[in-house]
Amino acid sequence: MTDDESRHDEPGLGLDLPAQPLEKSAAASPYRVLARKYRPQSFGELIGQDAMVRTLGNAIATGRIAHAFLLTGVRGVGKTSTARLVAKALNCIGPDGQGGPTIDPCGVCEPCRAIAEGRHIDVTEMDAASHTGVDDVREIIEAVRYSAVSARFKIYIIDEVHMLTKNAFNALLKTLEEPPAHVKFLFATTEVNKVPVTVLSRCQRFDLRRIPAEKLVEHFRRIAEIEQVSIEPDALLMIARAAEGSARDGLSLLDQAIAHGGGEVKTEAVRDMLGLADRGRIRRLLSLLLSGDASGSLAELDEAQALGIEPMALLRGLMEQVHAASRAKAGRGGDPLASAEERAASEELGGSLGWSQLHRLWQLLLKGLSDVSLAPDPNEAAAMVLLRLVHAADLPDPAALIARLQGQGEGAVNAPAPRPAAAAAAAPRAEQEAPSHAPASAPAQPPPPEPAAPAVPDGFAELVAFIEGKGKAIRAVQLRNQVGLVSYAAGQMALKPLQPLGASFARDLEAELRSLTGTPWQVTLVDGEAQPSLAAQEKMAEERARDAILREPSVAAVLSAFPDATLEAVQLKDSNHA
């Protein structure tokens, strides 16, 4: 048995070309890259697409075979390979020549071998990227009228079908909707959004998924064993992650890594080949950023640049760390392919950071990744991103800052609560009226006063300020900018919408006011005469104040002496403090 035959028998690993004769030596055979050598030759060898295989298998078993299939997905997940497998499954006649359509083509009958070698006369494969026009489609339309020469079905495989012109699609529509019974169409595309909906509605669509990294690792490990290549587990993991769900991309990287290492694949060699930063360096850099060490962070960046690590790869590594920490904090655990040390580090980081910090880090890194990709000098842009992260690490948590401003955060929690006036007046009296036998160290305590219900503000402006003070900033902005007051009284008010409001605005506002004031409210939205919005009134008041200031003799004299001087801003004093 030849080497190629033994590889073909390996489960999950097939060849796209037949085995070479024994008399051909390995040196005489042209080298085929791994992505071609280990192309799947049966549905059992197609990894990561179990749902599609099950659907096709049931359709073939029950005879419910569509006349047109559309296969879509990212590059390298097996669209064209699946189309060829479907062609083999529909035309297989079995080793004895008596078989019918099957989800497990034999691979040894003449139709199977001819389709695998790309020489079957009834299976036409067309590249729509180079055959885009109406004339190319017209040839197909003319040919479908004739029956298959030797196969059960005449099959047309059109790769990158989204590249066809609009006129070509239109010419194909009628034939695609009602093709002869002996014709099947198989379309493959990476950009399904560019395929007209009229074509999509005439096809049975299959979305091929990205292949999970753990399946790619196992697939690449088996190939390395067959190729007799020594490869370290971490190197396999790096290649699988860099493949981003594409088997073809991963096999190309594996081919490159084998050539790079001279038949032995080391982790450091793969890291250098891909321009990646090691996980320890990423964790060290993230620790410096979170501690606010700007100098140390820049020094780490300079060292990474000296080692040839791309700034984009460095930022992607930081994003992976933040993402892993977020998953660990949410209780979903880290990357199942990561080591126990990396998972423990992710859990520790997730436990030490709050959700707002993790979200802020993610957003800053995402924005920084875009900045680095657009900057003339990526290294300078990466340095600025790191400095931005360093200073963001010192910012207080917004929720904690609001609580502190409202007297509920640190420094306010441990402060003694102010004593109510009633309680302060009652305390000496209670101490005097206490029984003489009561211990001096335990004076009688008065009952706590019942909290008073908040008073209803006297005016609309006061109500808006009251709502804002209760932490309802968004609602306060709506009332200040988007409505005009028609009428106001305790427990009821009429407002005129100045901008589009939601259908439940009045109902939601009534519920909030009832919760905040403890009294029922009635809010109605009406058309007609209304006061300007509070924001407009404030602006008009500012303009009046500006005009009054400019009319002041002293100000006019200053502006006359200094022609270039301008009145930049006017700050209105609160009437309570004027």
Per residue in 528-555, pLDDT (tens digit) is 888 999 988 888 888 888 888 888 887 7
- Kindly tell me if the per-residue pLDDT of 428 is higher than 50: no
Give the model confidence (pLDDT) of 492-528 as tens digits.
899 998 887 777 788 888 888 888 888 888 898 888 8
The pLDDT > 90 percentage for the chain reads 22
Q: What average pLDDT does the structure give for the chain?
A: 80
Encoding tokens for residue 468? 């804002």
Contact 208, 71 (CB under 8 A): yes
What letters, b where the CB count within 10 A reaches 16 and e where it falls short, cover 68-91?
bbbbbbeebbbbbbbbbbbbbbbb
**pTM exceeds 0.75 for this model:** no
The pLDDT > 70 percentage for the chain reads 80
484 DSSP β-pair partners: 496
Give the model confidence (pLDDT) of 291-346 as tens digits.
888 898 999 899 888 888 888 988 988 998 888 888 888 877 656 556 666 777 78
* Least confident piece of the model among 18-22, 28-32, 470-474, 480-484: 18-22
Mean pLDDT, to the nearest integer, of 266-276?
79
pLDDT at position 469: 85
Query: CA 68 to CA 177: how far, in whole Å?
Result: 9
- Kindly tell me if the per-residue pLDDT of 451 is higher than 90: no
Q: Annotate 95-160 with three-state secondary structure.
A: CCCCCCCCCCCCCCCHHHHHHHCCCCCCEEEEECCCCCCHHHHHHHHHHCCCCCCCCCCEEEEEEC
Query: CA 247 to CA 84: how far, in whole Å?
Result: 17
Query: CA 39 to CA 87: how far, in whole Å?
Result: 15
Query: CA 248 to CA 260: how far, in whole Å?
Result: 18
Contact 388, 368 (CB under 8 A): yes
Encoding tokens for residue 193? 């959004």
Report phi then psi at 192, rounded to 5.
-65, -20
Query: CA 35 to CA 32: how far, in whole Å?
Result: 8
Query: CA 48 to CA 50: how far, in whole Å?
Result: 6
Q: DSSP string covering 521-547, please?
A: -EEEE--S--PPPHHHHHHHHHHHHHH
Residue with tokens 């297989």: 92
Give the model confidence (pLDDT) of 176-213 as tens digits.
988 899 999 999 999 999 999 999 999 999 999 888 88
Q: Which residue has better confidence, 433 or 29?
A: 29
Q: Which domains does the chain have, with CATH numbers?
A: 49-207 (3.40.50.300), 213-265 (1.10.8.60), 279-393 (1.20.272.10), 460-531 (3.30.300)
Contacts of 412 (CB under 8 A, 6+ apart): 404
Query: CA 116 to CA 96: how far, in whole Å?
Result: 19
pLDDT at position 447: 56
